[in-house]
Chains A and B, each alone.
Chain A
Amino acid sequence: EAGVTQFPSHSVIEKGQTVTLRCDPISGHDNLYWYRRVMGKEIKFLLHFVKESKQDESGMPNNRFLAERTGGTYSTLKVQPAELEDSGVYFCASSRPLRLAGGPANEQFFGPGTRLTVL
């Protein structure tokens, strides 16, 4: 079974530019999450999709961030315009539908992350 993949692995952009991060979840995983770790801080939740619907977007920092999951498969996270404080590592995770998860663990499988540097 292929794991969660993220693209690109690294991105270096200038302040004010736009960047789009992509996440391909494990096949069959309805739940998709975005998290990020900015410099010196803890990993923070951004949002959660169930299929193509946003279940919880309480962690999105502001309206410069736009997440989509058209068709309920892969997801993109766009930052426009990027600011210096957006630098960090962005992680994507996926998990099985709760009815198939075999209980409350609903283990999340994480990708390797995209390291974003805004100059």
Chain B
Amino acid sequence: DAKTTQPNSMESNEEEPVHLPCNHSTISGTDYIHWYRQLPSQGPEYVIHGLTSNVNNRMASLAIAEDRKSSTLILHRATLRDAAVYYCILRDVVLGNKLVFGAGTILRVKS
């Protein structure tokens, strides 16, 4: 499975945008970029995914570099409830079913 690299932790102020980066220089053509997050004392939950184009949903936006070797998860207005560990995961659309988690980024949100 292709690997991703994320910062260990980031901090944000409430109501401000947050940009969570992810590097995936060895991404292959059949890899989708998925983001999951894990809130305290809960199981992981899906946030967003994309292949080449930028994506938006009710939770976040995903900006994908033109060469696909990096991506950024954007939370437009961070709230205290967004404090979580965010995981950037590459998932092969043909082979992939399991999720391969890295260490993720711990996001702290200050009020």
Query: Which residues in A have some Cβ–Cβ distance to B below 8 Å?
Result: 4, 31, 33, 35, 42-45, 48, 55-56, 59, 91, 93, 104-113
Contact = CB atoms under 8 A, between A and B. Distances in A.
A104 B44 contact: no
Contacts of A44: 101
Contacts of B34: 105
Contacts of B91: 104
Contacts of B99: 33, 35, 43, 45, 93, 108
Interface residues of B, number: 19
A106 B97 contact: yes
Interface of B: 32, 34, 41-46, 49, 51, 91, 93, 97-103
B42 A112 contact: yes
A40 B51 CA distance: 31
A33 B98 contact: yes
Contacts of A42: 101-103
Contacts of A35: 99, 101
Contacts of B98: 33, 45, 48, 56, 59
B100 A107 contact: no
A104 B93 CA distance: 6
Contacts of B49: 104-105
Nearest to A46: B98
